[in-house]
Amino acid sequence: MLRKAFARAPLDGEGAYRYGGRWSSAGTRLSYTSEHQSLAMLEYFVHLDADEAPPDLVLVTADIPDDLPKQRVRSDELPAHWRRSPASAELARLGDEFVQKGERCVLIVPSALAPNENNWLLNPHHTGFQKIVVSAIEPLNYDPRMFPRQRRKRRHR
């Protein structure tokens, strides 16, 4: 999920490169994706202010071949505080090292918001990355109840 203006190259990892994230430091190119649309929405919306809900979100769907080399990190392999926000630098180092080693294309990590579901972090530098195919980019129409303060503002205008 991302803003429409960035949909030209939705999996290039530019956002993580510029700003970093839970699983990578700024300067590391990694594309953050989720297994399910609902998790992608949750992961995106948790970072928004109710007054900043963008009207131009798009949902990107990609086909990731089963034969791409993957690494899975289970929550019981992580430090006890791994779900805290802001995230510890220890977690970012994990993603940074994953990209630097370049052995695998996909790093599967538990979601801090829904730890029984996973985010799939894609390494755009891996040789198998070009096998990942964006199959759809479509507008995301979310329920206005997601951002009730914004809804109230509209009524007062």
pLDDT digits (tens, 9 = 90+) for 7-64: 999 999 999 999 999 999 999 999 999 999 999 999 998 988 777 778 899 999 999 9
pTM for the model stands at: 0.89
Listed by start position, the domains of the chain span: 2-156
Distance from C-alpha of 131 to C-alpha of 65, rounded to nearest angstrom: 7
Pick from 52, 51, 17: nearest CA to 31: 17
For 52, other C-beta atoms within 10 Å of its C-beta total: 9
